[in-house]
Amino acid sequence: MNLSFSLPRLRALVTKEFIQILRDRPTFSMIFVVPIVQLALFGFAINSDPKLLPTAMMAADQSVYVRSITTALQNTGYFRFTEFPETEEKAERLIAQGKVQFIIRFPENFSRDLLRGERPSMLIEADGTDPVAIGSALAALGRVNQTALTRDLSNASPQLAPRAPPFEIRVHHRYNPEGMTSYNIVPGMIGMVLNMTLIVMTAVAMTRERERGTLESLLSTPARPVEVMIGKIAPFIIIGYLQVIVILIASKVLFNLPIVGSPFLLSLALSIYIAANLSIGFTVSTFARNQLQAMQMATFYFLPAMLLSGFLFPFRGMPQWAQIIGNIFPLTHALRIIRGVILKGNGFVDIWPSIWPMLLFLLAMCLVSLKRYRETLD
CA–CA dist 96, 174 (Å, integer): 10
Q: What pLDDT, on a 0 to 100 scale, did the predictor assign at position 254?
A: 85
Q: Dump pLDDT digits (tens) for 101-138.
A: 999 999 988 988 888 888 899 999 999 898 888 988 99
Lowest pLDDT segment from 92-101, 124-133, 161-170, 348-357: 161-170
Q: Dump pLDDT digits (tens) for 52-77.
A: 999 999 988 888 889 999 999 999 99
pLDDT at residue 160 tops 60: no
pLDDT at residue 215 tops 80: no
- Answer whether 268's CB lies under 8 Å from 338's CB: no
pLDDT at residue 232 tops 80: no
- pLDDT greater at residue 213 or residue 198: 198
Q: What pLDDT, on a 0 to 100 scale, did the predictor assign at position 258?
A: 84
Sequence-separated contacts (24+) of 108-111 with Cβ below 8 Å:
108/60, 108/61, 109/61, 110/60, 110/61, 110/63, 110/65, 110/66, 110/167, 111/61, 111/63, 111/65, 111/66
Q: What pLDDT, on a 0 to 100 scale, did the predictor assign at position 150?
A: 78
Q: Dump pLDDT digits (tens) for 330-341.
A: 999 999 999 999
Handedness of CA 129, 280, 367, 234 (dihedral sign): negative
Q: Region 48-55: what's the mean pLDDT?
A: 90
Q: What pLDDT, on a 0 to 100 scale, did the predictor assign at position 334?
A: 94
Nearest 5°: phi and psi at 141? -80, -5
Q: Region 174-203: what's the mean pLDDT?
A: 87
pLDDT at residue 161 tops 70: no
Q: Dump pLDDT digits (tens) for 258-302.
A: 888 898 999 899 999 998 998 898 888 888 888 888 888 888 888
- pLDDT greater at residue 148 or residue 5: 148
Alpha helices (H) in the chain, listed in sequence order: 7-23, 25-40, 64-75, 88-96, 110-115, 131-139, 144-147, 150-156, 182-212, 225-255, 263-287, 291-308, 320-326, 330-339, 348-377
Q: What pLDDT, on a 0 to 100 scale, did the predictor assign at position 162?
A: 52
Q: What pLDDT, on a 0 to 100 scale, did the predictor assign at position 75?
A: 92
Q: What pLDDT, on a 0 to 100 scale, did the predictor assign at position 125?
A: 94
Q: Region 246-257: what's the mean pLDDT?
A: 85
- Say if domain 53-174 classifies as CATH 3.40.1710.10: yes
The listed range with the strongest mean pLDDT (29-43, 152-166, 274-288, 345-359) is: 345-359
Q: In this structure, are strands 121-127 and 102-106 parallel, antiparallel, or unpaired?
A: antiparallel
Q: Where are the domains of the chain?
A: 53-174, 182-377
pLDDT at residue 177 tops 80: yes
pLDDT at residue 139 tops 80: yes
Nearest 5°: phi and psi at 50? -70, 145
pLDDT at residue 376 tops 70: no
Q: Dump pLDDT digits (tens) for 316-329.
A: 888 888 899 999 99
Which pLDDT band holds residue 355 (cuts at 50, 70, 90)? very high
pLDDT at residue 348 tops 90: yes
pLDDT at residue 159 tops 60: no
